[in-house]
Amino acid sequence: MTATLPETTARATARPPRIALVGGTGAVGRTFLELIAQRGFAFESIRLVASPRSAGRTLPVPGGTAVVESLETCDFDGVDLAFFSAGTPLSAAHAPRAAAAGALVVDNTNAFRMDPASPLVVPQVNGDLLARRPESGIVANPNCSTIPLARLLKPIQERYGLDRVTVSTYQAASGGGQSGIDELRADTAARLADFSAPAPEDSKFGPGLAFNVVPAIDKLLEHGGTLEEQKMRQESRRILDLGSLDLTATCVRVPVVNGHSEAVVIDVQQEADVRELTTLLDAQEEVRVWREGWPTPRTAAAEPDLVHVGRVRTDPENPRRVLLWLVADNLRIGAALNALQIAEKAVAHGIVGGSR
């Protein structure tokens, strides 16, 4: 007779996952590697996968080094957990291939966020979706501005109900990856030397970002909005399971290296009390409410794994209108940390190959 271990014991004794990190040479990929080490995420091995031009490089990973493999020829056989952060077209082409080989894919692009077979997950909001393996084998990581917003909207929705959300974002150059950071720094240096210097050729930020703000992120759509703004509406509805949520976004790129900020106006269904609201938000996992002063990308950088909230108030002429300001590290909370927390829950639920 073969003894059957209790589920919790089986998980505790299972082999740690074998990881492939696609986009491991980029800003999000490097942040992800830092977080694996900082959070003590157990793994058996880590493979770095990137574009052919990066293949062959030897780079540090937690516990040693790894030789970068080309995504074009990468064989995902034997991979338990694959993180994709190399751009939407590459995810669309290769993430299903990794999933078909048996890996649970956590994808940090727009490729699968609206795919009914791929859950769109913020662990603090709808992590229960990770109790079973997705039909597609892929879990979608939301947009970098949607994640912190959804984490605050959830408790407000449960306590007061939501009628309408209006948000303006102030998004950092790092939202454009390492090349976005490099461009901002180079453009700033050029304009300090000559303020009339032209914008960089083929700028990621249109007219250039140094000493400027650009009120358009991602491609412009026929109705005049942008894809980034559409993502925030569609993704928030899906994460919160509120298919008709009235959410309007205006997304703006600002000359900040890292850290997205958002000004949020929330119309709720019941009168809100500021003290109760502040206590409610402060009680959320990994959220800090600033009762004095307010967070900025600089001040929030000291605690990069928290969603920072300040200027919590109600409209003096409308107690059903809540206003707040939030700041979050977009490379961590808005990308790598959320992806790793998805992986942590997936391992805990036993849906990752090495954990089964």
Catalytic residue selected from 74, 94, 144, 251? 144
Q: 55-103: per-residue pLDDT in tens?
A: 999 999 999 999 999 999 999 999 999 999 999 999 999 999 999 999 9
Average pLDDT value for the chain? 94
Predicted confidence (pLDDT) per residue in 142-164, tens digit: 999 999 999 999 999 999 999 99
pTM of the model as a whole: 0.93
Position 276 confidence tier, pLDDT thresholds 50, 70, 90: very high
Per CATH, the number for 7-142+336-355 is 3.40.50.720
Write down the pLDDT at residue 3.
34
For CATH 3.30.360.10, list the domain ranges present in the chain: 146-172+213-329
CB of 312 closer than 8 Å to CB of 281: yes
Q: Give the pLDDT of residue 10.
A: 40
* Stretch(es) of the chain classified as CATH 3.40.50.720: 7-142+336-355
CATH 3.30.360.10 fits 146-172+213-329, yes or no: yes
pLDDT band at 309 (very low <50, low <70, confident <90, very high): very high
Q: How far apart are CA 267 and CA 262, in angstroms?
A: 16
In the predicted model, is pLDDT for residue 225 greater than 70? yes
pLDDT at residue 262 tops 50: yes
223 is catalytic: no
pLDDT at residue 21 greater than cutoff 50: yes
Average pLDDT score over residue span 117-138? 98
pLDDT for position 214: 97
The residue type found at 155 is: P
Band of pLDDT at residue 353, cut at 50, 70 and 90: confident
pLDDT for res 356: 52
Residue-by-residue DSSP string for 166-190: EEEEEE-GGGGHHHHHHHHHHHHHH
Told to judge if 144 belongs to the known catalytic residues of this protein, a careful annotator would answer yes
pLDDT band at 14 (very low <50, low <70, confident <90, very high): confident
What six digits make up the tokens of 8?
Answer: 């919790």
**Residue 339 pLDDT class (50, 70, 90 cuts):** very high
Query: Does residue 54 contact residue 68 with C-beta atoms inside 8 Å?
Result: yes
Catalytic residue among 74, 94, 260, 349: 260
